[in-house]
Amino acid sequence: MCPKKIEAPTFNGCHDLWIFDMWISDMDQFFEWHNLSDNKRVSYAKMMLIGEAQLYLGDVKDCLERRSKPLITAWTKMKQKLQEKYLVQSYRNKLID
């Protein structure tokens, strides 16, 4: 029997809290399954962003470069930046609780 192939989903930047939350969860599972290092997680996750989400992360990168700040190289930092955009504050507070 062949093992199940695990594929990473894409995220297009839709403002549906459930879809974003599921994307993060699916990516975490994908990274755990493939045992990827943190910088490879960021690189791979960037490839899974399409549409508005891809543009947003590009804007974040440009802003960091203009301010001579370090670029995002950790998956936790990337998730944090995406959550700032795609999770409303009240929902983030519920997740923390």
Question: What tens digit of pLDDT does each residue of 8-67 get?
Answer: 899 999 888 889 999 999 999 999 999 999 889 999 999 999 999 999 999 999 999 999
Q: Which amino acid is at 53?
A: A
pLDDT for the residue 93:
56
* Three-state secondary structure call for residue 4: coil
Q: State both tokens at 95.
A: 């997740």
The pTM assigned to this predicted structure is 0.82
Question: What tens digit of pLDDT does each residue of 74-93 get?
Answer: 999 999 999 999 987 655 55
Count of all residues that appear for the chain in the document:
97
